[in-house]
Each structure stands twice: as C-alpha cells, then as structure tokens.
Amino acid sequence: MPRSNRKVPPLPDPENGTWQGRSVARRFVSPDGLTVLVGRTAEDNDVLTFKLGSPRDFWLHVAAESGSHVVVRNPGGMDRLPKETEQLAAALAAGYSKARKGGRVAVHLCRCEDVSKPRGFPPGKVLLDRYRSVQASPWRPDLANMD
C-alpha cells in the first residue's frame, strides 16, 4: 500500500505553549512549580485560551485594556491558585498589556471554561461568564532591569 505524502501536524504541547509546531506563548514557571503561559499576539491568545487551555486551567487578563491572555496550567484540578502563582500570573498579565507602564491595575481571573468567544469577535477579544479581579503591579522579565 502506498504511503501518503501528507505531513501530519505536530501535536499540541500545552505545557510548552506550542501549537502546530510553533510557539504561541512565552513560558514561565511559578514559585509553586506551575506552568504559566503568556500569549504572544491576539491570534495566539485565541489559540492559547481555546486550543491549549483546559477547562479547569486558570485564565487571566488585564481589565479594560488590550493585552496578552495568561493561562496557568492546572493538571491537579486545584480549586484556587496558590497566592504566589496568582501574583506572578497577574503581574505578567499586566506587564504584557497596554497597562504595563502604570501602577497597580485590576486583572480578571477565572477558569478557561468561563471564557467564550462569540461569532464575529476579532482575534483576542472574549467574553467572561464569571470572574474575580485581583490587583497587580505590571512585571515582565525583559523590562525588569530597565527602570
């Protein structure tokens, strides 16, 4: 039987933020050992949230501004994020947003299952069913020493 010349796309790798062989997210490890993924572009945000994120993963985004979607992997099915991981993820969400030059900002936190994308919404734009807000100071490692 002849072999197909069709290439099989690489498997998604949610732990490393890759989809179809390309990186769609920056990867960080929290002080608690959890994987924190930060979307690179609006299109990548959609892939991260809806293709790589599991329903029980945690999802964060700065309030009232455009910015990266942040997904904290939750393989153990925790009910709440550990405090240090929550602060890191919220700081990254603020740091990789248009609010990065400000002081403390509100960051929305929910589960990936609480994020939806109505038909016709542009890349990166979503609706949240339920969420809570946390306060965070923007931080990103590439700008950490440039004050």
Please write the tens of the pLDDT for every residue from 80-98. Answer: 999 999 999 999 999 999 9
Digit-coded pLDDT (tens) for 34-61: 999 999 999 999 999 999 999 999 999 9
User: Helix, strand, coil % (nearest 5) of the chain?
Assistant: 20, 30, 50
Which of 38, 28, 56 is CA-nearest to residue 94? 38
Rg (CA), the chain: 16
Query: Between vectors from CA 96 to CA 15 and to CA 130, what angle results, nearest 5°?
Result: 75
| Long-range CB contacts (within 8 A, 24+) of 10-17 | 12/51, 12/52, 14/52, 14/53, 14/54, 14/73, 15/73, 17/48, 17/52
Residue 102 confidence class, pLDDT cut points 50, 70, 90: confident
Residue 4 confidence class, pLDDT cut points 50, 70, 90: low
**What is the Cα–Cα distance from 138 to 134, expressed in whole angstroms?**
12
Helix (H, G, I), strand (E, B) or coil at 131: coil
Q: Return the domain boundaries, the chain.
A: 18-140
Digit-coded pLDDT (tens) for 18-36: 998 899 999 999 999 999 9
**What is the Cα–Cα distance from 38 to 40, expressed in whole angstroms?**
7
